[in-house]
Amino acid sequence: METLQYTLRKLVTGIPLILGVTLISFTLMVHFGPDKTYDLLGKNPTQEQITEVRHQLGYDKSFVVRYTQYLKELATMNFGYSDSSGEKVSSILIRTMPVSLALILPGFVLGNLFGVILALIAAYHRGHWIDKIIMGVSVMGMSVSFLIVIIAFQVIFSSSQGLDLFPVRGWDVYSFTDYIHYVTVPTLASIFVSLGYNTRFYRAVIVEEMGRDHVRTAKAFGAHPIELLFKSVLKNSLIPIITRIMFSIPLVVISGSLLLESYFGIPGVGKVTYDAILSGDQPILKAVVGLTAIMFVFTLIINDILYKVVDPRISLK
C-alpha cells in the first residue's frame, strides 16, 4: 500500500518532466523541423494545393493547438500514420522495437556483467599487477571510439579480408541460429566499448565499499575473502550499480542502437527514428520522443522502488 502510494506520488512528479521533454523535442523536431509541404506536391503547385497540403500536415494550426494535439495523441497512444510510408506509427514501432531490443540486450547485459566481474577481480587484487593491468586496459578501451570498434570488428569478423564468419550487414532473422549469426558482431562491439567504462565505475564503487567499517570487522572475524566480497561488498554496492544500469536503459534502447543499426543496416527503432529526423516524418518522431520520455520517468520510479527493495533503510518519502 505504501509502495503504491509512493508510486502514484512519483508518477505525478514525473508529469512536469514529460511535459518538458515533449515541449523541447516538439519545438525542435516539429516546429523547427523540416517542412514536408513541397515533398508531397507535384511540380508547379497552385496556391490552393499548397494550402490543402499544409492543412493536411497540420502546419496551418498554431503552435499551442498542435502541441496540445500531440499531448492528446501521447495520452491515447494513437500517433496516426507515418508521413513517408503511410504505415501506422504504432505498427512500425511494434515491428522495430523488438529488433532493437534483441540487438542491444545481449551486449548490454554481458557488458555490465563482465564489468562487475572484472571490477570485483581488480578490487580484490587492489594495487596488485592484476588490478593495474585491468585498469590500464579499461582506460585503453575507453579511449577507442565506438565507430572505430564497429568498423574494425566488421572488417575482422565479417569481411573477406578478415575471418569472414558473419554477415556484413542486414537482419534476416527467422531462427535462433540466424539471430546468433547476425547479433554476434554488434554485440562484441558494444561489449568492447562499454566494458572499460563499466569496469572503472564498478571498481570505484566496490573499492569504496571495501573500505567501510563493517567489511573490516568481518575481515577481522576471519570471514572468507570471496564470501566477504560477495556478501558484504557486492550486496552493499548494489545501489550505485542498479542506478547506473537503470538509467542507461532508456537511452541505450534508442541512442545506443542508432549507430549499430545504421552501420549494420538493421531495421530497428534507432534507424527508423534517424531516418524520420532527416526526412521530417513528424508522427514517428513525436511517438519515439514521447515514449522515451515516459520510459525515462518510469525508470526513475522503478529505480526508487528498487532502492527500497535492496536497502530496507531507505524510506519511501
Partner 1 sequence: MSTVLDTSTVERVEDKVGESMWSKAAYKFRRDRTGMMGLSVVAFYMLIALGVALGLWGTEWSDNNGQKWEGISSQYWFGTNILGQDIFERAIFSTKTAFEVGLVVAVISTLIGAILGALSGFFSNTWIDEIILWVMGVLDSIPFYLFVAAIAFALSGFSYSMHVAMIATFWTTTSRLVRGEVIKLKNFEFVEAARAVGVPQHIIIFRHILPNTFHILLVQSTIVFVGAIKSEVILSFLGLGVKDGVSWGLMIAESTLEVQAGEFANFYAASALLFILVMAFNMFSDALQDALDPKKVSA
Torsion of CA 267, 273, 275, 278, to 10 degrees: -170
User: For residues 276 and 47, what is the distance between their CA atoms, to the nearest angstrom?
Assistant: 27
Q: Does 278 help bind partner 1 (rule: CB under 8 A)?
A: yes
C-beta neighbour count of 14 within 10 angstroms: 17
Q: Does 12 help bind partner 1 (rule: CB under 8 A)?
A: no
Q: Does 292 help bind partner 1 (rule: CB under 8 A)?
A: yes
Q: Which is nearer to partner 1, 67 or 173 (CB)?
A: 67
Q: Does 268 help bind partner 1 (rule: CB under 8 A)?
A: no
| CB-based contact 170:186 (threshold 8 Å) | no
Binding mask 37-56 for partner 1 (x = CB under 8 A): --------------------
Q: Does 74 help bind partner 1 (rule: CB under 8 A)?
A: no
Q: From the CB of 306, what's the least distance to partner 1, in Å?
A: 18
Interacting stretch for partner 1, rule CB under 8 A, among 32-40, 49-57, 70-78, 235-243? 32-40
Q: Which is nearer to partner 1, 106 or 250 (CB)?
A: 250
In DSSP notation, 126-176 reads: TTSHHHHHHHHHHHHHHHS-HHHHHHHHIIIIISTTTT--S-SS----SSH
Q: Does 306 help bind partner 1 (rule: CB under 8 A)?
A: no
User: Across-strand partners of 107?
Assistant: none
Q: Which is nearer to partner 1, 18 or 110 (CB)?
A: 18
**Packed helices 257-264 and 89-124: angle between N→C axes, nearest 10 degrees:** 110
| Contact set for partner 1, span 183-242 (CB under 8 A) | 207, 211
Cα→Cα distances 241→131, 161, 301, Å: 20, 40, 16
Q: From the CB of 47, what's the least distance to partner 1, in Å?
A: 25
Q: Which 3 state secondary structure label does DSSP give 88?
A: strand
User: For residues 194 and 62, what is the distance between their CA atoms, to the nearest angstrom?
Assistant: 44
| Contact set for partner 1, span 91-120 (CB under 8 A) | none
Q: Which is nearer to partner 1, 173 or 210 (CB)?
A: 210
User: For residues 264 and 183, what is the distance between their CA atoms, to the nearest angstrom?
Assistant: 10
User: For residues 71 and 75, what is the distance between their CA atoms, to the nearest angstrom?
Assistant: 6
User: For residues 38 and 140, what is the distance between their CA atoms, to the nearest angstrom?
Assistant: 49
| Contact set for partner 1, span 124-143 (CB under 8 A) | 126-127, 131-132, 135, 139-140, 142-143
Give the max Cα distance, the chain. 88
Q: Does 265 help bind partner 1 (rule: CB under 8 A)?
A: no
Among the listed residues 161, 175, 177, 315, the single contact to partner 1 using CB under 8 A: 161
Interacting stretch for partner 1, rule CB under 8 A, among 61-69, 87-95, 175-183, 250-258? 250-258
Among the listed residues 185, 234, 288, 301, the single contact to partner 1 using CB under 8 A: 288
Residue 141 C-alpha cell reads as 578501451
- Contact residues toward partner 1 (CB under 8 A) are 16-17, 20-21, 24-25, 27-29, 32-34, 126-127, 131-132, 135, 139-140, 142-148, 151-152, 155, 159, 161, 207, 211, 250-251, 254-255, 258-259, 262, 273-274, 277-278, 280, 288-289, 292-293, 296-297
